[in-house]
Chain A
Amino acid sequence: MSVEENVNQEPNYLEYKSNRKGLGAWIFSTDHKRIGLLYLYSIMSLFFIGATLGLLMKFELIAPGKTIMEAQTYNGIFTLHGIIMIFLIVIPGLPAVFGNFLLPIMIGAKDVAFPRLNLLSWWIYVLGALVAVSSQFLGDGPPDTGWTFYAPYSFKTTTNMLPAVLGAFILGFSSILTGLNFIVTIHRLRAPGMGWFKMPLFPWTLYGTAWIQLLATPIVGITLLMIVAERMLQIGFFDPALGGDPVLYQHLFWIYSHPAVYIMILPAMGAISEIIPTFAKKTIFGYKAIVASTLAIAFVGYFVWGHHMFASGMSTFSLYTFSILTFLVAIPSAIKVFNWLATMHKGSISPETPFYWAVSFIFVFLIGGLSGLVLGALATNVHLHDTNFVVAHFHFIVFGGTGFAFMGAMHYWFPKIYGRMYDTGWANTGWMIFFIGFVTLYLPMFYLGMIGMPRRYYDYLPVFHGPNIISTIGSWVMISGLIIIVVNLFRSAKYGKPAVKNPWGGRTLEWEVGSPPTLENFDTIPTVTRRPYDYS
C-alpha cells in the first residue's frame, strides 16, 4: 500500500480478492493490470530462453570451427533465437506489458474497451509460444531456416517447420487482437477533456503501433499459411519448378516484417517521450511534431520493405524506390531524437535510473539508425547484405532500441506497478555493466561485417577471430549486468521500500492514482484540463 494512502481501505489490484483463488485469479483475470503482468512474466521467461540461445551462439563463435556444437545445431539455435526474440519478445513487448498496464490509466479509463478479448490475447500468446517451442522437440529436428522462413528452403527442409510456422501464425492473432483493443480504447475511452492533443505520447505511439499490428500482421499470416500449403499440398506459389517465385515470398514476408519493426520501436520511443520530460522537469519539446512523426513513421513504414531485398534480383525501379523511401522514413525518427535532446536542454535533470536508460537508448538507437542508412544506400548494401553488419544494425536498433526502452519503462513505472521502490545503486550498477557489455558485444560486428564475415555462419576465417573474441566476452559482461538488474527488480518487488503515488514528479494521469492502483484505477473518472508534461 502506498505511504500516503488515506483510510480508503480499497485493496490495490495486486491484493484484490475475486471469486477465484490463487493462480486462477490471475490467469482468468480480465483486469488490464494483471494481464500486463501475465505478459511480463511470460515474456521474461521466454527472454531467458532466447538469451541463453544467444549466449550459446556467441560461445560457439568465440573460435573458428566447432567449439561446442555442430553446424546443424547452430542453424537450429539461431532460428529459434530469432523466432523467440522477434515474435515472442519484441513484437508483443512494450504494448503487451506497458500498454496493457498503463494505457487505460494514462487516458483516464478503468480498463481497455474489450477486457475479455484482452485476456484471450494473452491465452493465444501462450498457445502460440507453446506451439512454436514444440518445434524443437517433435518431428525431424528443430527448424533451421532462420526466423525469416525463406522459400524455397522453408518448404524443402525436412526439419520441423509446421509447428514453428503455425506458432508464428497463432501469435499473429494475439498481436492483432491487442491492436484492435487499443484502437477502440483510445477512440472511445479517453476521459472527459482529454482531446487527442491532450493525450500523452506513449498512448499516441500505442495508437500508431496498433494500426500496424492490425493491418500488417494478416499479410504475414496468410503468407505463413501459404508456406504450409506449399509444404503439405505443393501449391506452387513459391516453387520455381511449379511456376512460383521465391522472391514473391520475400515481398510478402517483408510487407509485414518491416512494419513489424515499427511495432517494436514506436512504443519504445513513446516510453522515452514519457521518461525524458519527467527527469528534465520540463515539458516535451515539440509535442505535435512528435505526434506527426509517430504517424509518419507508421504510415511511411508500410512502403519500405524492399530494402531487405536489395540483393534478391528486384527490378531497378524497385531498388531506387525503396532506397529513397527508406531514407525518407528516417527523418521522423531523427525529429524525435532532436526533440528529446531539446527537451533536456536547459531542463533540471534528475539523474535517476530511467533517465540513464533513456539517454543510453538515444545513443544506441542513433548508432543503429545511422547504420540503417548505410544499409539503405544501394551500393553499400550490396557489400554488407547478409553480413554481420546487418546483425549489428538490428541488434543496436531493436535490442538497443526496444530493449533499452523496455528497461527504462520497467524502472520508470516499477513503483506504480508494484508499489515499491527498487534499489537505485544496484539498478544503476546493473545498467552500467549491461551497457558496457552491450556495446562490446555488438560494436565489433559492424567491423566484422565490413571485412566480410557472413551472418548465420557457424564457422569463419581466421581473420575474423579477434573481434569475435571481444564480442563473446561482451555477451558475458552484458548478461552479468542483466542478472543484476533482474535480481534487483525481483527482490524490490517483494521487499522494496513502499512507493508514494508520484515518486518521480511526473505530470501524466498514472501518477495521480495509487501505487499500486486499485482495481478500477480511478474512484471517479477525472476531467482533464491540463496538457501532459505540464511543468509550469
Chain B
Amino acid sequence: MEQEKHHIVGYKVYIYVLLALLVLTGLSVAVTSIELGALTVAVALILAATKGALVLTYFMHLKFDSLMFRVMVSLVLAVFAVVLVVTLLDYLYM
C-alpha cells in the first residue's frame, strides 16, 4: 500500500482553535441577553455551525486530508439539511 503523507499538526494550532471555540461559546451565551426575537434560532445555529466547522476542519483534520473526505462530509450534511428543511416546510405551510 502506498505510504501516506504524515501531516503533523502542531500543538499551537489546536490551542488557537480551542481559544476560538471558547470565544464563540462565550458569545453564544452572551447573545442570549439580547432580545432577538425571530433571529434567536438563526444566530444560535450560525454560531454553533461555526464551532462545528472549526472542529471538523482542524480537530477532525479535514483541512489536511484528501478532498474526498471534504466532499463526502459536505454532501452528507447537505442531504440531511434538505431532509430537515423539507419536513419542516410541511409544518410551516400547514
A–B direct contact (CB < 8 Å)? yes
Chain A residues engaging chain B, CB cutoff 8 angstroms: 187, 215, 219, 251, 255, 299, 302-303, 306, 314-318, 321
* Size of B's binding interface in residues, CB under 8 A: 13
Chain B residues packing against A (C-beta within 8 Å): 68, 76, 79, 82-83, 86-87, 89-94
B93/A316 in contact, CB under 8 A:
yes
Contact residue among A187, A219, A318 (Cβ-Cβ distance under 8 Å from B90): A318
Q: Which of B79, B86, B87 is close to A215, meaning CB atoms less than 8 Å apart?
A: B79
Asked if B83 and A255 sit within 8 Å, CB to CB, the answer is yes
Q: How far apart are B2's CB and chain A's nearest CB, in angstroms?
A: 11
**Chief secondary structure at chain A's binding surface:** helix
Contact partners of A315 in chain B: CB under 8 A: 89-94
Q: Report chain A residues within 8 Å CB of B79.
A: 215, 299, 302
Contacts of A187 in B (CB 8 A): 68
A-B contact pairs, 16 of them (CB 8 A): A215-B76, A215-B79, A251-B90, A255-B83, A302-B83, A303-B86, A306-B90, A314-B90, A315-B91, A315-B92, A315-B94, A316-B93, A317-B89, A317-B93, A318-B93, A321-B89
Is B93 a contact partner of A303 (Cβ separation < 8 A)?
Answer: no
- B76 CB to closest chain A CB (Å) equals 6
CB <8 Å contact, A251 and B87: yes
CB contacts (< 8 Å) of A318 on chain B: these are 86, 89-90, 93
Q: Give B3 Cβ to nearest chain A Cβ, in Å.
A: 15
**Extra 7 A-B pairs, beta carbons < 8 Å, given A187-B68, A215-B79, A318-B93:** A251-B90, A302-B79, A302-B83, A303-B82, A306-B86, A316-B93, A321-B86
* Chain B nearest Cβ from A73, distance in angstroms: 36
Instruction: Tell which of B68, B76, B94 has the most Cβ of chain A within 10 Å.
Output: B94
Minimum Cβ distance to chain B for residue A220 (Å): 13
Chain A residues closer than 8 Å to B92, beta-carbon distance: 315
Docked complex Cα distance between A306 and B86 (Å): 10
- B83: which A residues are within 8 A, CB to CB? 219, 255, 302-303
CA distance A321 to B79 in the complex (A): 16
Given A215-B79, A302-B79, A302-B82, verify A317-B87 contact (CB < 8 Å): no
Min CB gap B59→A, angstroms: 22
Assembled-state Cα–Cα distance A275/B87 (Å)? 39
Residues of A within 8 A of B86 (CB): 303, 306, 318, 321
Question: Which residues of chain A come closer than 8 Å to B94, judged between CB atoms?
Answer: 315
Q: Kindly state the separation between the CA atoms of A106 and B5 in the bound complex, as whole angstroms.
A: 30
Most buried by B among A187, A251, A302, A318: A318
Query: Are A317's CB and B90's CB within 8 A?
Result: yes
Give the distance in Å from the alpha carbon of A255 to the alpha carbon of B83 in the complex.
8
| Contacting residues, chain B, for A321 (C-beta < 8 A) | 86, 89
Collect the chain B residues with CB atoms within 8 Å of residue A316's CB.
93
Complex Cα distance, B82 from A255, in Å, reads 11
A255 touching B89, Cβ below 8 Å: no
B87: chain A residues at CB < 8 Å are 251, 255
* Closest residue on chain B to residue A188 by CB atoms: B1
Chain A residues within 8 Å of B89, by CB: 315, 317-318, 321
Indicate the member of B76, B82, B83, B91 with the most A CB atoms within 10 Å. B83
